[in-house]
Amino acid sequence: MITQNIFITIETKEFQQDLLSKGSWLVILHAERFPPHAGLLFNGSYNSLTIKEAELDINKEVLFKTISQKKIKSFLLKLLPHPVFSLDHQKEMFQEELKKAGSVKHNQATCLSPIKLFFKDFYGIQSAPEELLFDFIRQLVGNSYVEYALSLHIQAVNGIDLPFYTHEELNEKIKTERQTYYSN
């Protein structure tokens, strides 16, 4: 049971869906749940790694209809534009990492794994395999790679709150969730 949250100071703005059509965003779904889910949005195209598969090119309209209907508590972090590479190129490279991973796997890949590889390749952010979402976001914020945050169905004032959990708890949760779909 989660008894503690991690607060990360980030400039927050009022949610405006039209902002999400441009630029790159780190999307955090089920922000109060253990563990939250993370994906990347490029010019309105959402991509993430799930227990079942790699989700590629999900239109932001579809994503936000689901978020709205299910009242999914979500944070959206606007990422600093890359100074050289186009968003199309970044999306293609991220999708390649998602395809390589295939799906979230116990002691192998989390939804954050391809995101960390993306930031290593494009922004030079080094992160340990056991680094969790809240630590990774703190690193992005500390390096000024996050411009601001938006929120949906959850309050965010001068920052975001994420649940605290350990690497061991995360792997156990992945193992349990995978058993619903797979025998390994």
The reported pLDDT for the residue numbered 101 is 95
The reported pLDDT for the residue numbered 132 is 96
Cβ contacts of 67 within 8 Å, gap of 6 or more: 29, 74, 152, 153
The reported pLDDT for the residue numbered 120 is 96
The reported pLDDT for the residue numbered 3 is 64
Please give the single-letter amino acid code of residue 135.
D
User: Cis peptide leading into 35, omega within 30 of 0?
Assistant: yes
The reported pLDDT for the residue numbered 184 is 52
Start-to-end CA span in the chain (Å): 25
Please give the single-letter amino acid code of residue 76.
L
Cβ contacts of 160 within 8 Å, gap of 6 or more: 7, 8, 10, 12, 28, 31, 75, 77, 137, 149, 151
For 14-60, write each residue's pLDDT tens digit. Answer: 999 889 999 999 999 999 999 999 999 999 999 999 999 999 999 99
Per-residue model confidence as pLDDT tens for the chain (184 residues): 446 999 999 999 999 988 999 999 999 999 999 999 999 999 999 999 999 999 999 999 999 999 999 999 999 999 999 999 999 999 999 999 999 999 999 888 999 999 999 999 999 999 988 899 999 999 999 999 999 999 999 999 999 999 999 999 999 999 998 887 776 5
Distance separating alpha carbons of residues 102 and 115, to the nearest angstrom: 14
How far CA 89 is from CA of 4, 95, 118, 136, in Å, comes to 38, 10, 11, 23
The reported pLDDT for the residue numbered 1 is 46
